[in-house]
Structure 1
């Protein structure tokens, strides 16, 4: 009898709980435009996505906008149609040979498959000085609770700023290529039902490959020349984190320098400030930063992102492991290097350290 009473008491609270359903409305889908055309070689890319604000589900928060008609129009009326990438939905590329021209203004125009039309404000292309030299600094970043700090390479651009114009600079990196080393001699066969132990099975090839990856800056690197107009200066322009693979041998990247408009610089500065908020309870909440895109159907519609047009200069940099004063412990891949995505054993035709 006592056991039965205990059983009933245990079930009783469960029977009194009803599920509470929260009805949260779907968030507004915001068009996000990200793209830059410049005076350097292409193709240049414009990416279109839709981002959901907070809604009843978190699935598919960022969706590519496919099937749109995307064109760039210059101030002389010349129109250039962009084509959507076959393997990159939502990304639209300029034709081969297209380059922006210094002194011209460009406008991005978009029509979605639903018939909605968007346009940017005109962006004027300004000339940009050459990168005279790129210095390499090793940066370490202490990590709380860890003995080994984060580290990487800082690229410092040396430029001669022209005195006859007010320049607004923006830097980013090209896809990087580096020598990727693995240990195929340490390869083992994974345990299975028939073989419960790892079995050494060294591979004869290959220990050295060339790997190409998208090299993204860890922050937004921008500057305006108010304090160095007409002078030679050195400015931090990139940071590449050491992940235990990149700087085992040689690493190559092209540092891209752009002269953007004052309005584009302001947008990038606001994005940089928001991205670098520490996360304290005393920090202001993230805000929606309006770019230069507007809807022609509904001027009140919020459109995110920015279309930029800029002059470009570029400097190729080879970084040797000996250039670093601190390196992360080498990461070990006990396999053929060709199994890693983005690798090849063929030496790139333009590899010339």
Structure 2
């Protein structure tokens, strides 16, 4: 969503023209100075939670810098009964609201006034109560692990769902390092860099609907597949799945957004097109706004998978290339390798990548939730 959905449509023009023997055509939208407001986030209706709205601007396809964030805006949420609640501005275009619990049966809308005097207003939306996740299941198949989600609403009122998930896994280096080189001195490590926790947040749009079923049931909806050789499964893996109930309008918006951003890749995929959310400019009715405002609760479920529960897969850690050498202190000062340990005034060494788990993107601090 950080790039304009409208501007993505020019990709097809470039691709089709590049395939033929014609002069290239560069539509003016590619270098258009227009930037459109992007609204991300929602109001969480669960007690004791903080709601977050992030404001940024779209960028042209030729831009390489990070998208511009929208600061010094006044962001409020208004109820159909005229109650108004103001978000507090943080850093990076993030606005938060705490201590407000939207009431079921009321409707709410978002109002944004920018520092430049522009105003944006969403449609009124209901409070969607999300049913609990029945389970997050997994099974071994095709030399990997398939993870699915299951849910239902006994009242048959939800029908439209969205899921997000965060992954966390623990892994180790090839060798446990007891020494390190600091300012040309060989010192004992004060912090272990042998075990780390990696993490990842899914960026795709995961949707499900039971609208065509007699009962509001989501059964074995696939979320992701993990290859058996992945380092994620080398020791212990965890996934937390978040579930959101959507209105049909929100579902249609995210469904079209998913088709545009995730399915475009061949001539048989859906062609990019402009999509419209439920947020509009009141100062310029022709101005595009990216985003869909919604209010509702969130349900979450976390599971763990241990290596002992899986087949004897060999993870692709790259440890097979971690050769060990013996060096003197003077050699270490000159070549600066990673140091495993000291043996008879010599040192066992290898590459730092084979010793410091942080170099693979993880952190040594165990997450608070880790069991």
Common fold, TM-score beyond 0.5?
yes
Unaligned stretches of 5+ residues in structure 1: 1-21, 141-150, 195-199
The reply on whether 1:158 has 2:158 as its aligned counterpart is: no
Select the residue among 61, 76, 81 that pairs with 1:76: 81
- TM-score scaled by structure 1? 0.73
The reply on whether 1:207 has 2:194 as its aligned counterpart is: yes
Q: CA deviation at 1:98?
A: 4.1
Counterparts of residues 314-329 of structure 1 (less than 5 Å):
314-324=300-310, 328-329=315-316
Select the residue among 39, 48, 53 that pairs with 2:55: 48
Q: Is residue 203–residue 336 contact of structure 1 (8 Å, CA) maintained in 2?
A: no
Farther off after superposition, 67-76 or 257-266: 67-76
**Change in 2 beyond 3 A, CA 1:110/1:254:** same
Q: CA deviation at 1:348?
A: 4.0
SS at match of 1:274: helix
Q: Deviations over 1:162-204 (max 9, x none)?
A: 244252111112x4443232235479999xxx9xxxxx99968
Matched with 2:10 is none
**Change in 2 beyond 3 A, CA 1:46/1:252:** same
Q: Deviations over 1:210-252 (max 9, x none)?
A: 44x35215x3221221233435541425226569433222223
Cα root mean square deviation, aligned: 3.5
In 1, Cα distance between equivalents of 2:51 and 2:370: 23
Q: CA deviation at 1:49?
A: 1.2
Q: Is residue 79–residue 107 contact of structure 2 (8 Å, CA) maintained in 1?
A: yes
The reply on whether 1:226 has 2:228 as its aligned counterpart is: no
Q: CA deviation at 1:339?
A: 6.3
Q: Is residue 185–residue 202 contact of structure 1 (8 Å, CA) maintained in 2?
A: no
SS at match of 1:58: coil
Q: Is residue 157–residue 216 contact of structure 2 (8 Å, CA) maintained in 1?
A: no
Q: CA deviation at 1:67?
A: 1.9
**Number of residue pairs the alignment of both structures matches:** 304
Matched with 1:93 is 96
Matched with 2:349 is none
Q: Is residue 231–residue 316 contact of structure 2 (8 Å, CA) maintained in 1?
A: no
Select the residue among 352, 355, 360 that pairs with 1:335: 355
SS at match of 2:274: coil
Q: Deviations over 1:54-89 (max 9, x none)?
A: 5xx524362211221212222233323222333xx0
**Change in 2 beyond 3 A, CA 1:124/1:323:** farther
**Change in 2 beyond 3 A, CA 1:295/1:278:** closer
**Change in 2 beyond 3 A, CA 1:287/1:323:** farther
**Change in 2 beyond 3 A, CA 1:138/1:91:** farther
Select the residue among 28, 38, 41 that pairs with 1:35: 41
In 2, Cα distance between equivalents of 1:69 and 1:26: 27
In 1, Cα distance between equivalents of 2:216 and 2:156: 11
Q: CA deviation at 1:48?
A: 1.2
Unaligned stretches of 5+ residues in structure 2: 1-25, 320-352
Q: CA deviation at 1:52?
A: 2.6
**Change in 2 beyond 3 A, CA 1:269/1:183:** same
SS at match of 1:236: strand
In 2, Cα distance between equivalents of 1:82 and 1:344: 35
SS at match of 2:249: helix
- TM-score scaled by structure 2? 0.69
Matched with 1:251 is 237
Q: Is residue 185–residue 203 contact of structure 1 (8 Å, CA) maintained in 2?
A: no
